[in-house]
Amino acid sequence: MSGKWVPDLSSAVGPKYLAVAGEIARAIESGELVPGDQLPPQRDLAEQLGVTVGTVSRAYALARKHNLVSGEVGRGTFITGMPTEVEAPRTFSPQADAVIDLQSYSAAPTDQGSLLLSRALGELAERVLMMPLHKYPANMGTESHRQAGATWIRRSGLEAAATDVLPTYGAQEALSICLDVLAQRGDTVLAEAITYAGFKSMAAIKGLHLQPLEMDDEGVTPEALEREAKKTRARLLYLQPTVHNPTTRTMSARRRTEIARIIKKHDLVLIEDDAAVSPLRERPAPLSAQLPGRACYITSLSKFMSPVVRVGYLHTSGPMLGALADALYANRLGPSTLNLELATSLVQSRAAETLADAYLDAMGRCLDTARAVFAPDQFRAALGSNYLWLNIPRAWNADEFVRAARQQGLAIPYLDNFLIDSRAGDVGTRITLNAALAPDMLKTCFAKLATLLASRPTRYSSVV
C-alpha cells in the first residue's frame, strides 16, 4: 500500500496528531499496514485530511518515537511495526513477530465506542468533585454502583435487587473470591469436562481438584451431574450454561430445570459464569434464577465495552452475600470507585446498551465470515460469543494441528488449556473472533485453517 493509506478522522476525538498516530497503530494491528509499506508524504496527507503539515509531522514523529515507522530524508516514511516498552497513544499493540493472534480477544476500535467512552470519562471528571476521595469506599460499593449492576444483570432474565449485587474488579476477581470463600484447598469442584481456561488455571493455583462432568450438545448431562455429585460429595459446581466457553454450547430450558433439581437434591452451590455473553438479550434465563440462595451469578462489562473497563458484577443472596463481601474487602479494602463510577455512568446513560449492540454486530460479521469459509461440520458457533469451536478431524492430533497452524502464521490455543478430562469426546480448539483484524485478514486466517482441516498431517518416520 505504498503511499496510498489515508485514515478516517471524521469522528476523531482530541488532538488530530494523536488521532493520526493512533490510526497508524490500529492499521498495523489490523494488517492494513504491514512492515515496508510507505506512508503518504506529509504534505499530501495533510491536504487530504484538511489539517496542517505540522499536525501530520507531529503524528509521524510520535509514531517514529514508538518504533512504528522509520523515515529517511528523500525516501519517505515506512512502516516498521515494532513496538517499544513505552505505550503509544493507541489501544492495541502491533504484532511484533507477524504471527496473527487467534487466542486472545481484541475488540474492534470504533469511532462510536471511542466517543462514548471519552464522554463518560469527561463526566467522570465532574463526578470526582462529589466523591469522598479522602477515605476508602464501602466494601459493596455505593447504592448507585450496585443499582447499575442490578440493571445490567436484569437484562439476562435474572431478577436482581441492588442489595444482592457485589461490584468487582472484573469477572476474574468475582470468580476468584467465590472459590476462596466457598472452597478450601484440597476440595473437589465439579465442572464441565471442557472448561474455561482461566477457571482451570485458577483452580490449580488454589489447590482445588476439578472433577469433570460429561457433556453433550447442551453441555453437562444430568446423568453425569447426578453420578459425580453422589460419588464425590462435592459442594461446589462451576458451569457456563449459556454459550459455553470454549465449545459455544447452550443448555435448553428443560435441561436447566433438570440440572437445578439435581443441584437442590445434592445441596450444591452453583457458580454460574456468564461473563462471555454479557451483551446478549435474547437468551435463556440464567440457571441461577431457579436457585435463589444457592447460586453465585457472575457477569462483566469488560469484553464488549473495553478491556480497560475492569468491572464485573457478582449476584447472590443469603449468608453467602455477607461472606463474599467481607472477603472482597479483606482482599482490596473496597472496590475501585473511579472504575465503578465510569461503568455506572455508561449503564445509566444507556451508552452500555449501544456498546453492547455494536459488539454483537461486530461478532455477527465475524461469524458471517466464518460461515462463508468453513464447512458446517468444521466448526460450532453461537451469536454473542467472541469465539468459535473448531472441530479437529481425527486424522490430526490436536497438538499437531496447533503446531501446523503456527507454521501458517496463526497462534491458536492448545486443547489441553481447556481440558479437565483428557477422555472428553471433543477434539478441537477455540478460535477467537479477533474483531481488531481487518475483515480480509480475518477471512485469510480462516481460509488457512479450513485448508488445514481438509488436509492430512505430514508425518515422517526414520529409515534405518
Domains for the chain: give ranges and CATH numbers. 16-90 (1.10.10.10), 135-349 (3.40.640.10)
203 in Cβ contact with 188 (< 8 Å): no
Task: From residue 237, give the alpha-carbon distance in Å to each of 66, 173, 189, 313, 421.
Answer: 47, 17, 6, 19, 16
Selection from 297, 184, 279 nearest residue 240 by Cα:
297
User: Both ends of the chain: CA-CA distance in Å?
Assistant: 51
Q: What pLDDT sits at residue 1?
A: 57
Say whether pLDDT at 352 is over 70: yes
Q: Which three cell numbers stand for residue 442?
A: 480475518
Percent of the chain whose predicted confidence (pLDDT) is above 70:
90
Structure-model confidence comparison of residues 401 and 88, the more confident one: 401
Residue 85 pLDDT class (50, 70, 90 cuts): very low
Q: What pLDDT sits at residue 99?
A: 83
CA 207 to the chain's CA centroid: 25
Q: What pLDDT sits at residue 11?
A: 65
The tens digit of pLDDT for each residue in 253-273 reads 999 999 999 999 999 999 999
Say whether pLDDT at 130 is over 70: no
Give dist(CA 59, CA 54) in Å, integer. Answer: 9
Say whether pLDDT at 92 is over 50: no
Structure-model confidence comparison of residues 209 and 85, the more confident one: 209
Q: Which letter does DSSP use for residue 38 in this model?
A: B
Residue 313 pLDDT class (50, 70, 90 cuts): very high
Q: What pLDDT sits at residue 253?
A: 96
Q: What pLDDT sits at residue 270?
A: 98
Structure-model confidence comparison of residues 108 and 377, the more confident one: 377
Please state the rounded mean pLDDT for residues 160-177: 94
Please state the rounded mean pLDDT for residues 13-24: 80
Residue 457 pLDDT class (50, 70, 90 cuts): confident
Please state the rounded mean pLDDT for residues 397-416: 93
Selection from 309, 291, 293, 289 nearest residue 301 by Cα:
309
User: Using CB atoms within 10 A of its CB, is residue 9 exposed (0-12), middle (13-18) or buried (19+)?
Assistant: middle
Strand partners, 70: 78
Q: What pLDDT sits at residue 110?
A: 63
Residue 71 pLDDT class (50, 70, 90 cuts): confident
The tens digit of pLDDT for each residue in 183-219 reads 999 999 999 999 999 999 999 999 999 999 999 999 9
Say whether pLDDT at 160 is over 60: yes
The b-or-e profile of 223-238 (16+ CB within 10 A means b, else e) is ebbbebbeeeebbbbb
With both helix axes pointing from N to C terminus, report the angle between 351-373 and 439-453 in degrees, rounded to the nearest 10: 40
Q: What pLDDT sits at residue 90?
A: 37
Q: What is the mean pLDDT of the chain?
A: 87
The tens digit of pLDDT for each residue in 51-70 reads 999 899 989 988 888 889 98
Q: What pLDDT sits at residue 106?
A: 74
Q: What pLDDT sits at residue 460?
A: 54
Say whether pLDDT at 381 is over 70: yes
Residue 383 pLDDT class (50, 70, 90 cuts): confident
The tens digit of pLDDT for each residue in 269-286 reads 999 999 989 999 889 999
Residue 333 pLDDT class (50, 70, 90 cuts): confident
Which residue type sits at 40? Answer: P
H or E element at residue 432:
strand 428-432
Q: What pLDDT sits at residue 370?
A: 96
